[in-house]
Structure 1
Amino acid sequence: MISMLKGLVDTIAEDYVVLDVNGVGYQAFCSRRTLSQMPSVGEATRLEIETHVREDHIHLYGFIDEMERDWFKLLTTVQGVGARVCLAILSVLGPDELVQAIAAQDKAAVARANGVGPKLAGRIVLELKDKVAKFSLGGAALADKKTAAKESTASTPAANIADDAVSALVNLGYGRSDAYTAVVKAAQAMGDAATVEALIPAALKELSQ
Protein backbone atom coordinates (compact mmCIF):
# COMPACT_ATOMS: atom_id res chain seq x y z
CA MET A 1 0.00 0.00 0.00
CA ILE A 2 1.45 3.35 -1.04
CA SER A 3 1.24 6.01 1.69
CA MET A 4 3.77 8.58 0.42
CA LEU A 5 5.50 9.52 -2.81
CA LYS A 6 8.56 11.69 -3.25
CA GLY A 7 9.79 12.55 -6.71
CA LEU A 8 9.88 15.06 -9.54
CA VAL A 9 6.77 16.72 -10.91
CA ASP A 10 6.19 15.37 -14.41
CA THR A 11 2.66 16.61 -15.19
CA ILE A 12 0.15 18.90 -13.52
CA ALA A 13 -3.36 18.47 -14.93
CA GLU A 14 -6.78 19.80 -13.93
CA ASP A 15 -7.41 17.17 -11.29
CA TYR A 16 -4.23 15.14 -10.95
CA VAL A 17 -0.46 15.26 -10.85
CA VAL A 18 2.06 12.77 -12.19
CA LEU A 19 5.21 12.26 -10.12
CA ASP A 20 8.32 10.73 -11.58
CA VAL A 21 9.70 8.49 -8.85
CA ASN A 22 12.98 6.97 -10.05
CA GLY A 23 11.72 6.75 -13.61
CA VAL A 24 8.23 5.48 -12.76
CA GLY A 25 5.28 7.83 -13.23
CA TYR A 26 2.61 7.77 -10.53
CA GLN A 27 -0.70 9.50 -11.20
CA ALA A 28 -2.36 10.91 -8.09
CA PHE A 29 -5.72 12.66 -8.10
CA CYS A 30 -5.62 15.84 -6.02
CA SER A 31 -7.71 18.72 -4.75
CA ARG A 32 -7.22 22.16 -6.25
CA ARG A 33 -5.67 23.18 -2.93
CA THR A 34 -2.91 20.60 -3.34
CA LEU A 35 -2.45 21.26 -7.06
CA SER A 36 -2.07 24.99 -6.40
CA GLN A 37 0.89 24.25 -4.13
CA MET A 38 2.74 22.00 -6.54
CA PRO A 39 6.14 23.25 -7.66
CA SER A 40 6.97 23.63 -11.33
CA VAL A 41 7.41 20.66 -13.63
CA GLY A 42 10.81 19.07 -13.07
CA GLU A 43 11.06 20.15 -9.44
CA ALA A 44 10.96 17.81 -6.44
CA THR A 45 7.96 17.43 -4.18
CA ARG A 46 6.33 15.05 -1.74
CA LEU A 47 2.73 13.90 -1.53
CA GLU A 48 0.87 12.09 1.21
CA ILE A 49 -1.02 9.27 -0.51
CA GLU A 50 -4.27 7.41 0.08
CA THR A 51 -4.52 4.25 -2.02
CA HIS A 52 -7.91 2.92 -3.11
CA VAL A 53 -7.94 -0.60 -4.49
CA ARG A 54 -11.01 -1.80 -6.38
CA GLU A 55 -11.71 -4.80 -8.56
CA ASP A 56 -11.29 -2.78 -11.74
CA HIS A 57 -8.69 -0.17 -10.75
CA ILE A 58 -6.14 1.15 -8.31
CA HIS A 59 -6.37 4.88 -7.70
CA LEU A 60 -3.94 7.07 -5.82
CA TYR A 61 -5.11 10.27 -4.14
CA GLY A 62 -2.45 12.82 -3.25
CA PHE A 63 -2.41 15.47 -0.53
CA ILE A 64 -0.07 18.33 0.25
CA ASP A 65 -0.11 17.48 3.96
CA GLU A 66 -1.33 14.88 6.44
CA MET A 67 -4.17 17.05 7.67
CA GLU A 68 -5.77 17.16 4.24
CA ARG A 69 -5.39 13.39 3.93
CA ASP A 70 -6.99 12.90 7.36
CA TRP A 71 -9.95 14.99 6.28
CA PHE A 72 -10.25 12.98 3.08
CA LYS A 73 -10.47 9.78 5.12
CA LEU A 74 -12.96 11.32 7.53
CA LEU A 75 -15.21 12.64 4.78
CA THR A 76 -15.39 9.20 3.14
CA THR A 77 -17.04 7.85 6.31
CA VAL A 78 -20.18 9.79 5.40
CA GLN A 79 -22.66 7.83 3.31
CA GLY A 80 -22.78 9.09 -0.26
CA VAL A 81 -19.40 10.80 -0.12
CA GLY A 82 -16.92 9.18 -2.50
CA ALA A 83 -13.34 10.07 -3.26
CA ARG A 84 -14.18 12.55 -6.03
CA VAL A 85 -16.68 14.37 -3.83
CA CYS A 86 -14.08 14.54 -1.06
CA LEU A 87 -11.60 16.18 -3.40
CA ALA A 88 -14.27 18.63 -4.55
CA ILE A 89 -14.95 19.61 -0.94
CA LEU A 90 -11.24 19.93 -0.15
CA SER A 91 -10.88 22.10 -3.25
CA VAL A 92 -13.16 24.79 -1.82
CA LEU A 93 -12.57 24.34 1.92
CA GLY A 94 -9.22 23.81 3.58
CA PRO A 95 -8.97 21.74 6.78
CA ASP A 96 -9.39 24.76 9.07
CA GLU A 97 -12.36 26.00 7.08
CA LEU A 98 -13.95 22.55 7.23
CA VAL A 99 -13.65 22.47 11.01
CA GLN A 100 -15.32 25.87 11.17
CA ALA A 101 -18.09 24.97 8.71
CA ILE A 102 -18.95 21.70 10.45
CA ALA A 103 -18.79 23.16 13.96
CA ALA A 104 -21.06 25.99 12.78
CA GLN A 105 -23.31 23.52 10.91
CA ASP A 106 -22.81 25.70 7.83
CA LYS A 107 -24.38 23.55 5.10
CA ALA A 108 -24.12 26.33 2.54
CA ALA A 109 -20.32 26.43 2.83
CA VAL A 110 -20.01 22.69 2.18
CA ALA A 111 -22.55 22.84 -0.66
CA ARG A 112 -20.21 25.15 -2.58
CA ALA A 113 -18.32 22.05 -3.69
CA ASN A 114 -19.18 20.55 -7.08
CA GLY A 115 -21.44 17.53 -6.73
CA VAL A 116 -22.57 18.41 -3.20
CA GLY A 117 -26.24 19.32 -2.94
CA PRO A 118 -28.02 20.74 0.12
CA LYS A 119 -29.14 17.30 1.31
CA LEU A 120 -25.66 15.78 1.19
CA ALA A 121 -24.12 18.91 2.71
CA GLY A 122 -26.58 18.64 5.59
CA ARG A 123 -25.66 15.00 6.13
CA ILE A 124 -21.94 15.83 6.16
CA VAL A 125 -22.13 18.58 8.76
CA LEU A 126 -24.53 16.55 10.90
CA GLU A 127 -22.62 13.27 10.87
CA LEU A 128 -19.22 14.87 11.41
CA LYS A 129 -20.23 17.36 14.09
CA ASP A 130 -19.39 15.05 16.99
CA LYS A 131 -16.09 14.06 15.37
CA VAL A 132 -14.89 17.66 15.42
CA ALA A 133 -16.54 18.46 18.76
CA LYS A 134 -13.22 19.39 20.36
CA PHE A 135 -13.03 22.33 17.96
CA SER A 136 -16.59 23.50 18.65
CA LEU A 137 -17.90 25.89 21.24
CA GLY A 138 -19.14 23.00 23.34
CA GLY A 139 -15.57 21.81 23.70
CA ALA A 140 -13.80 25.13 23.89
CA ALA A 141 -14.27 28.23 26.01
CA LEU A 142 -17.88 27.44 26.87
CA ALA A 143 -17.45 23.73 27.57
CA ASP A 144 -19.49 22.45 30.50
CA LYS A 145 -20.42 25.97 31.62
CA LYS A 146 -23.88 27.28 32.41
CA THR A 147 -25.53 30.66 32.20
CA ALA A 148 -26.06 32.95 35.14
CA ALA A 149 -29.32 31.09 35.69
CA LYS A 150 -27.48 27.84 36.34
CA GLU A 151 -28.92 27.41 39.82
CA SER A 152 -32.46 27.78 38.58
CA THR A 153 -34.49 24.87 37.30
CA ALA A 154 -34.40 26.37 33.82
CA SER A 155 -30.62 26.41 33.38
CA THR A 156 -29.38 26.34 29.77
CA PRO A 157 -26.23 24.55 28.49
CA ALA A 158 -23.55 26.96 27.32
CA ALA A 159 -23.45 25.35 23.90
CA ASN A 160 -27.11 26.28 23.45
CA ILE A 161 -26.29 29.87 24.39
CA ALA A 162 -23.72 29.97 21.64
CA ASP A 163 -26.11 28.40 19.15
CA ASP A 164 -28.74 31.00 20.00
CA ALA A 165 -26.23 33.81 19.54
CA VAL A 166 -25.12 32.40 16.17
CA SER A 167 -28.74 32.03 15.04
CA ALA A 168 -29.45 35.63 15.99
CA LEU A 169 -26.53 36.85 13.90
CA VAL A 170 -27.60 34.69 10.96
CA ASN A 171 -31.07 36.25 11.20
CA LEU A 172 -29.37 39.63 10.94
CA GLY A 173 -27.90 38.57 7.59
CA TYR A 174 -24.43 37.31 8.53
CA GLY A 175 -23.07 34.04 7.16
CA ARG A 176 -23.20 31.15 9.61
CA SER A 177 -19.46 30.48 9.57
CA ASP A 178 -18.61 34.15 10.06
CA ALA A 179 -21.17 34.39 12.86
CA TYR A 180 -19.77 31.26 14.50
CA THR A 181 -16.21 32.57 14.41
CA ALA A 182 -17.27 35.89 15.93
CA VAL A 183 -19.21 34.16 18.71
CA VAL A 184 -16.23 31.91 19.48
CA LYS A 185 -13.93 34.92 19.87
CA ALA A 186 -16.46 36.79 21.99
CA ALA A 187 -17.09 33.74 24.18
CA GLN A 188 -13.39 33.16 24.77
CA ALA A 189 -12.99 36.76 25.88
CA MET A 190 -16.06 36.75 28.14
CA GLY A 191 -15.70 33.36 29.83
CA ASP A 192 -18.32 32.83 32.56
CA ALA A 193 -19.99 36.12 31.70
CA ALA A 194 -21.10 34.74 28.33
CA THR A 195 -24.87 34.97 27.93
CA VAL A 196 -26.90 35.29 24.77
CA GLU A 197 -27.59 38.95 25.53
CA ALA A 198 -23.90 39.66 26.07
CA LEU A 199 -22.57 37.52 23.25
CA ILE A 200 -24.60 39.09 20.45
CA PRO A 201 -23.26 42.68 20.75
CA ALA A 202 -19.75 41.39 21.47
CA ALA A 203 -19.87 39.18 18.36
CA LEU A 204 -21.23 42.10 16.30
CA LYS A 205 -18.22 44.12 17.39
CA GLU A 206 -15.95 41.28 16.20
CA LEU A 207 -17.74 41.22 12.85
CA SER A 208 -17.31 44.96 12.37
CA GLN A 209 -13.54 44.82 12.72
Structure 2
Amino acid sequence: MIGKLKGIVDSFGEDWVIIDVHGVGYQVSCSAKTLSALPRPGEAVALAIETHVREDQIRLFGFTSGTEREWFRLLQSVQGVGTRVALALLSTLSATELANAIAMQDKASIARAPGIGPKVAQRIVTELRDKAPALQLADPGLTRLQATAEAAVAGGAPLSEAVSALVNLGYAQVQAGQAVASAVAKLGEEAKTEQLIRAALRELAS
Protein backbone atom coordinates (compact mmCIF):
# COMPACT_ATOMS: atom_id res chain seq x y z
CA MET A 1 0.00 0.00 0.00
CA ILE A 2 1.24 3.48 -0.84
CA GLY A 3 1.26 5.78 2.20
CA LYS A 4 3.36 8.66 0.87
CA LEU A 5 4.54 10.05 -2.46
CA LYS A 6 7.52 12.34 -2.85
CA GLY A 7 8.35 13.59 -6.30
CA ILE A 8 7.80 16.38 -8.83
CA VAL A 9 4.50 17.96 -9.79
CA ASP A 10 3.88 17.02 -13.42
CA SER A 11 0.39 18.37 -14.20
CA PHE A 12 -3.00 19.19 -12.72
CA GLY A 13 -6.60 18.26 -13.49
CA GLU A 14 -9.89 19.46 -12.02
CA ASP A 15 -9.58 17.26 -8.94
CA TRP A 16 -6.26 15.49 -9.37
CA VAL A 17 -2.54 15.99 -9.74
CA ILE A 18 0.08 13.79 -11.39
CA ILE A 19 3.23 13.30 -9.33
CA ASP A 20 6.34 12.17 -11.17
CA VAL A 21 8.32 9.80 -8.97
CA HIS A 22 11.53 8.74 -10.74
CA GLY A 23 9.83 8.75 -14.13
CA VAL A 24 6.58 7.10 -13.03
CA GLY A 25 3.50 9.36 -13.01
CA TYR A 26 1.00 8.74 -10.22
CA GLN A 27 -2.45 10.30 -10.60
CA VAL A 28 -3.63 11.43 -7.18
CA SER A 29 -7.14 12.68 -6.35
CA CYS A 30 -7.13 15.68 -4.00
CA SER A 31 -9.46 18.18 -2.37
CA ALA A 32 -9.61 21.67 -3.83
CA LYS A 33 -7.77 23.01 -0.77
CA THR A 34 -4.96 20.50 -1.22
CA LEU A 35 -4.64 21.28 -4.93
CA SER A 36 -4.46 25.01 -4.25
CA ALA A 37 -1.65 24.45 -1.74
CA LEU A 38 0.54 22.44 -4.12
CA PRO A 39 3.55 23.97 -5.88
CA ARG A 40 3.72 24.63 -9.62
CA PRO A 41 4.58 21.94 -12.19
CA GLY A 42 8.26 21.09 -12.08
CA GLU A 43 8.59 21.69 -8.35
CA ALA A 44 9.06 19.12 -5.59
CA VAL A 45 6.14 17.94 -3.49
CA ALA A 46 5.35 15.33 -0.83
CA LEU A 47 1.83 14.07 -0.14
CA ALA A 48 0.34 11.75 2.45
CA ILE A 49 -1.52 9.07 0.50
CA GLU A 50 -4.62 6.97 1.11
CA THR A 51 -4.76 3.97 -1.23
CA HIS A 52 -8.08 2.42 -2.22
CA VAL A 53 -7.83 -0.95 -3.94
CA ARG A 54 -10.78 -2.43 -5.82
CA GLU A 55 -11.14 -5.27 -8.27
CA ASP A 56 -11.12 -2.93 -11.25
CA GLN A 57 -8.86 -0.09 -10.08
CA ILE A 58 -6.34 1.28 -7.62
CA ARG A 59 -7.05 4.87 -6.65
CA LEU A 60 -4.76 7.22 -4.75
CA PHE A 61 -5.96 10.16 -2.62
CA GLY A 62 -3.44 12.80 -1.60
CA PHE A 63 -3.28 15.15 1.38
CA THR A 64 -0.91 17.86 2.55
CA SER A 65 -0.89 16.43 6.07
CA GLY A 66 -1.56 13.23 7.96
CA THR A 67 -4.32 15.05 9.84
CA GLU A 68 -6.23 15.79 6.64
CA ARG A 69 -5.88 12.13 5.66
CA GLU A 70 -7.27 11.05 9.05
CA TRP A 71 -10.27 13.29 8.50
CA PHE A 72 -10.79 11.71 5.08
CA ARG A 73 -10.85 8.27 6.70
CA LEU A 74 -13.01 9.37 9.61
CA LEU A 75 -15.63 11.05 7.45
CA GLN A 76 -16.17 7.84 5.51
CA SER A 77 -17.14 6.03 8.71
CA VAL A 78 -20.41 8.01 8.56
CA GLN A 79 -23.23 6.43 6.59
CA GLY A 80 -23.78 8.25 3.31
CA VAL A 81 -20.25 9.66 3.12
CA GLY A 82 -18.00 8.18 0.46
CA THR A 83 -14.77 9.39 -1.07
CA ARG A 84 -16.48 12.00 -3.27
CA VAL A 85 -18.42 13.57 -0.42
CA ALA A 86 -15.42 13.44 1.93
CA LEU A 87 -13.27 15.28 -0.62
CA ALA A 88 -16.06 17.82 -1.21
CA LEU A 89 -16.21 18.55 2.52
CA LEU A 90 -12.42 18.86 2.78
CA SER A 91 -12.56 21.18 -0.23
CA THR A 92 -15.03 23.41 1.61
CA LEU A 93 -13.65 23.39 5.16
CA SER A 94 -10.10 23.10 6.46
CA ALA A 95 -9.37 20.40 9.05
CA THR A 96 -9.59 22.98 11.85
CA GLU A 97 -12.82 24.50 10.50
CA LEU A 98 -14.30 21.02 10.22
CA ALA A 99 -13.31 20.18 13.79
CA ASN A 100 -14.81 23.43 15.07
CA ALA A 101 -18.04 22.86 13.14
CA ILE A 102 -18.39 19.39 14.67
CA ALA A 103 -17.53 20.62 18.17
CA MET A 104 -20.17 23.36 17.79
CA GLN A 105 -22.68 20.96 16.17
CA ASP A 106 -22.85 23.45 13.29
CA LYS A 107 -24.80 21.48 10.67
CA ALA A 108 -25.11 24.54 8.42
CA SER A 109 -21.36 24.79 7.87
CA ILE A 110 -21.13 21.07 7.09
CA ALA A 111 -24.04 21.30 4.65
CA ARG A 112 -22.21 23.98 2.64
CA ALA A 113 -20.23 21.22 0.94
CA PRO A 114 -21.65 19.95 -2.37
CA GLY A 115 -23.49 16.66 -2.04
CA ILE A 116 -24.16 16.97 1.69
CA GLY A 117 -27.79 17.38 2.66
CA PRO A 118 -29.26 18.13 6.11
CA LYS A 119 -29.56 14.48 7.11
CA VAL A 120 -25.95 13.62 6.28
CA ALA A 121 -24.75 16.84 7.94
CA GLN A 122 -26.64 15.85 11.09
CA ARG A 123 -25.07 12.40 11.08
CA ILE A 124 -21.59 13.86 10.65
CA VAL A 125 -21.82 16.28 13.58
CA THR A 126 -23.51 13.67 15.79
CA GLU A 127 -21.37 10.62 15.05
CA LEU A 128 -18.00 12.38 14.91
CA ARG A 129 -18.43 14.71 17.85
CA ASP A 130 -16.47 12.58 20.31
CA LYS A 131 -14.02 11.06 17.85
CA ALA A 132 -10.42 12.10 17.21
CA PRO A 133 -9.13 14.22 15.62
CA ALA A 134 -12.20 16.44 16.12
CA LEU A 135 -11.59 17.34 19.75
CA GLN A 136 -7.83 17.55 19.24
CA LEU A 137 -8.23 20.27 16.62
CA ALA A 138 -11.26 22.14 17.85
CA ASP A 139 -10.77 25.51 19.49
CA PRO A 140 -11.27 24.94 23.26
CA GLY A 141 -13.12 28.24 23.49
CA LEU A 142 -15.67 27.08 20.93
CA THR A 143 -16.13 23.81 22.80
CA ARG A 144 -16.88 25.72 26.01
CA LEU A 145 -19.36 27.93 24.16
CA GLN A 146 -21.13 24.82 22.89
CA ALA A 147 -21.50 23.57 26.47
CA THR A 148 -22.94 26.94 27.51
CA ALA A 149 -25.44 26.87 24.66
CA GLU A 150 -26.55 23.35 25.53
CA ALA A 151 -27.07 24.41 29.15
CA ALA A 152 -29.33 27.24 27.98
CA VAL A 153 -31.40 24.89 25.83
CA ALA A 154 -31.90 22.51 28.77
CA GLY A 155 -32.23 25.19 31.42
CA GLY A 156 -36.00 25.38 31.89
CA ALA A 157 -39.03 26.77 30.12
CA PRO A 158 -38.11 30.48 29.72
CA LEU A 159 -34.59 29.66 28.55
CA SER A 160 -35.57 26.91 26.14
CA GLU A 161 -38.53 28.97 24.84
CA ALA A 162 -36.22 31.93 24.19
CA VAL A 163 -33.75 29.72 22.34
CA SER A 164 -36.58 28.21 20.30
CA ALA A 165 -37.89 31.66 19.38
CA LEU A 166 -34.47 32.75 18.13
CA VAL A 167 -34.07 29.54 16.12
CA ASN A 168 -37.45 30.25 14.52
CA LEU A 169 -36.10 33.66 13.53
CA GLY A 170 -33.31 31.96 11.60
CA TYR A 171 -30.44 31.84 14.09
CA ALA A 172 -28.45 28.63 14.54
CA GLN A 173 -29.27 26.78 17.76
CA VAL A 174 -25.73 27.13 19.11
CA GLN A 175 -25.72 30.87 18.32
CA ALA A 176 -29.16 31.31 19.92
CA GLY A 177 -28.11 29.32 22.99
CA GLN A 178 -25.02 31.46 23.49
CA ALA A 179 -27.03 34.69 23.22
CA VAL A 180 -29.66 33.47 25.71
CA ALA A 181 -26.92 32.31 28.09
CA SER A 182 -25.43 35.81 27.95
CA ALA A 183 -28.88 37.31 28.55
CA VAL A 184 -29.39 35.13 31.63
CA ALA A 185 -26.01 36.20 32.99
CA LYS A 186 -27.12 39.84 32.76
CA LEU A 187 -30.79 39.55 33.78
CA GLY A 188 -30.69 36.65 36.21
CA GLU A 189 -32.33 33.24 36.17
CA GLU A 190 -35.77 34.67 37.06
CA ALA A 191 -36.02 36.61 33.79
CA LYS A 192 -39.09 35.94 31.65
CA THR A 193 -39.03 34.58 28.12
CA GLU A 194 -39.82 37.95 26.52
CA GLN A 195 -37.04 39.66 28.45
CA LEU A 196 -34.56 36.99 27.47
CA ILE A 197 -35.52 37.23 23.80
CA ARG A 198 -35.08 41.00 23.72
CA ALA A 199 -31.75 40.85 25.54
CA ALA A 200 -30.53 37.99 23.35
CA LEU A 201 -31.44 39.90 20.19
CA ARG A 202 -29.47 42.89 21.44
CA GLU A 203 -26.57 40.52 22.10
CA LEU A 204 -26.79 39.10 18.58
CA ALA A 205 -26.98 42.57 17.05
CA SER A 206 -23.92 43.89 18.89
TM-score, normalised with respect to structure 2: 0.73
| Deviation at residue 129 of structure 1 after TM alignment | 1.3
| Deviation at residue 163 of structure 1 after TM alignment | 5.6
| Deviation at residue 120 of structure 1 after TM alignment | 1.2
Pairing 1:87–2:77 present: no
Residue 141 to residue 109, structure 1, CA distance change in 2 (3 Å):
closer
Distance 1:32 1:55 in 2: 27
Amino acid at match of 1:41: P
Q: Residue 161 of structure 1 contacts residue 196 of structure 1 at CA under 8 Å; is this kept in 2?
A: no
Q: Residue 138 of structure 1 contacts residue 159 of structure 1 at CA under 8 Å; is this kept in 2?
A: no
Pairing 1:75–2:69 present: no
Amino acid at match of 1:51: T
For 2:122, the equivalent position in structure 1 comes to 122
For 2:190, the equivalent position in structure 1 comes to none
Amino acid at match of 1:77: S
Pairing 1:53–2:40 present: no
Q: How many residues align?
A: 184
| Deviation at residue 43 of structure 1 after TM alignment | 0.8
Distance 1:66 1:206 in 2: 38
Q: Residue 138 of structure 1 contacts residue 158 of structure 1 at CA under 8 Å; is this kept in 2?
A: no
**CA deviations over 1:17-49 (Å, ceiling 9, x no partner):** 000011000011000000001111111111110
Gaps of 5+ in 2: 187-195
Q: Residue 105 of structure 1 contacts residue 126 of structure 1 at CA under 8 Å; is this kept in 2?
A: yes
Q: Residue 133 of structure 1 contacts residue 139 of structure 1 at CA under 8 Å; is this kept in 2?
A: no
Q: Counterparts of 1:1-209 in structure 2 under 5 Å? A: 1-131=1-131, 132-133=134-135, 135=138, 141=144, 160-161=150-151, 168=163, 173-175=170-172, 179=175, 197-198=184-185, 208=206
Q: Bigger shift: 129-138 or 23-32?
A: 129-138
Q: Residue 183 of structure 2 contacts residue 203 of structure 2 at CA under 8 Å; is this kept in 1?
A: no
Distance 2:172 2:150 in 1: 18
| Deviation at residue 136 of structure 1 after TM alignment | 7.6
Amino acid at match of 1:73: R
Q: Residue 3 of structure 2 contacts residue 48 of structure 2 at CA under 8 Å; is this kept in 1?
A: yes
| Deviation at residue 198 of structure 1 after TM alignment | 2.4
Distance 2:110 2:86 in 1: 11
Q: Residue 99 of structure 2 contacts residue 135 of structure 2 at CA under 8 Å; is this kept in 1?
A: no
Instruction: Report % sequence identity.
Output: 53
| Deviation at residue 172 of structure 1 after TM alignment | 6.1
Q: Bigger shift: 122-131 or 23-32?
A: 122-131
Q: Residue 104 of structure 1 contacts residue 176 of structure 1 at CA under 8 Å; is this kept in 2?
A: no
Q: Residue 6 of structure 1 contacts residue 47 of structure 1 at CA under 8 Å; is this kept in 2?
A: yes
TM-score, normalised with respect to structure 1: 0.72
Gaps of 5+ in 1: 144-156, 187-193
Residue 158 to residue 174, structure 1, CA distance change in 2 (3 Å):
closer
Amino acid at match of 2:151: I
